[in-house]
Homo-oligomer: A and B are copies of this chain.
Amino acid sequence: MDLSVVFESKNVAVIGVSTSNPFHPANIIYNKNYYSTECCVFAVNPKGGELERRQVYRSVAEVPAKLDMAVVAVKAHYVPAVARECAAAGVKSLVVISGGFAEMGEAGHALQDELVGICSEAGMALIGPNCFGVYSPPYVDTFFLPPERTVLPRKGDIAVASQSGAFLVDQVMTNFYEAGIGISVAVSMGNKAMVDEEVLLENFAARSDTRCICFYIEGMDQGVRRFIEAAREVTPRIPIVAYLGGKSERGQAAAKSHTAALAANHEMMAGALKQSGILEATTEAEVTSFCKILSFYHHRPLRSCDIAVISSSGGHGVLASDLAEGAGLRLPQFSEHVQEDLRMLAEPSVRDIASFANPIDLTGSATDQDFERTLDYLLGHDHIEAALVLTLPYTPMMTSFVGTRLGQVVKKHDKPVVAYVPDLAKYGMVLEGFELNGIPVVHSIEEGVQMLKALRLLGLYAGGGQPGCPR
């Protein structure tokens, strides 16, 4: 099922706009697309009339354009009739945001089956029901949320699909915006009566702008096998990240009343993900960390678990060491010879007080050059696969050029490096120095370790196990 017509919709009808309530979801969708996207949008309501002096059409049949998409925001029991009208008018796809289908028990299930029947017969792609729909910049945006109350991440290269609209908004759109991650397309699947994970996976993988694919999954029944098989084909080329909701007994019950999801047993599901090379994010933070590192280094899985940690704080080195061990990464001990080399590279003010074992503590007296030379030397070593650089922007000798300098080192060696910069607006200049030069920034040491863990898992799943490495 080719969804390019959905993602690049040129003519869109919004069915169910209100001429009296400007906060109606359909009105928000209509206005968003009228003012902020490239599609032509048409308001539809059987009563007709006007919306801000623009015509409201009585049905899609009246709309003077070939419709790529109709967004349906009417009460559930009207939806089949509306779908039939759309089919008759040759509409190519439906986004049904209305709830009241399979998630509401048996009667809703029947209604949903009827809807699927109509769409299948007419060859209309169906997104939803019970969903936020599609955010596909610059073409179309059906997320019916007041724009002044939400944020949009920049256009980028992560494609996302979620069974929960709110997860998509908070844990993806908002968190990605805050972390500076770009999204290519996002789909809220809702009850995923027709368009499910497997369909979206195929479509995401076919796009040239996809660098990483991210899923939030509450449950999959028949779809699991198709999805896992499709994923196995995709992961060698495009990494996939998945977060599973409904792991606990109460969570499963909640998922059922939320999107009619029959949650698979979590261990089984996690095992299946792993076998097909999908990275399971186990926390909200890992969703962001995994996707962010993959948007920087999707092509660069770690061939071994050996990393270097470079810091200007002993305590941060200790924390990173603890976390790395828990994440299946290793800080190999440096030989006396390597330590002596590093000492000679350091500025005289640092030489005698720094610790050159792994983790390296360059101390609060470290300069940008100390970081630069240390990183350059270590990435030049075959057995070091990646580095975590922990910077403290309050150490007086460090400047905002440190990121630019380290960025040049990374380009030279083509090995992944992650930088920790504490989370303060005023450290923005330091952060940008890194990110504009190809080094992703995290605000906690944990997230830095999570990022390298993601690249290591990619390497492991691709068959890059190494004797002696933990896990």
Contacts and interface: CB of A to CB of B under 8 A. Distances in A.
Given A253-B357, A422-B170, A319 B163 contact: no
A151 B315 contact: no
A23 B313 CA distance: 19
A345 interface: no
A297 B100 CA distance: 40
B254 A150 contact: no
Copies of this chain assembled into the complex: 2
Nearest to A447: B284
A322 interface: yes
Interface string A296-331: 000000000000000011111111011011100011
A355 interface: yes
B174 A423 contact: yes
A132 to B, nearest CB: 9
Contacts of A58: none
A170 B318 contact: no
Contact of A255 (B318, B333, B423): B318
A325 B151 contact: no
Interface stretch (A86-94, A197-205, A244-252): A244-252
A445 B285 CA distance: 10
Contact of A357 (B248, B254, B364): B254
A358 interface: yes
A257 interface: yes
Contact of A319 (B245, B253, B353): B245
B361 A314 contact: no
Given A170-B392, A245-B318, A248-B322, 7 more contacts: A149-B394, A149-B396, A166-B314, A177-B424, A245-B315, A254-B318, A257-B355
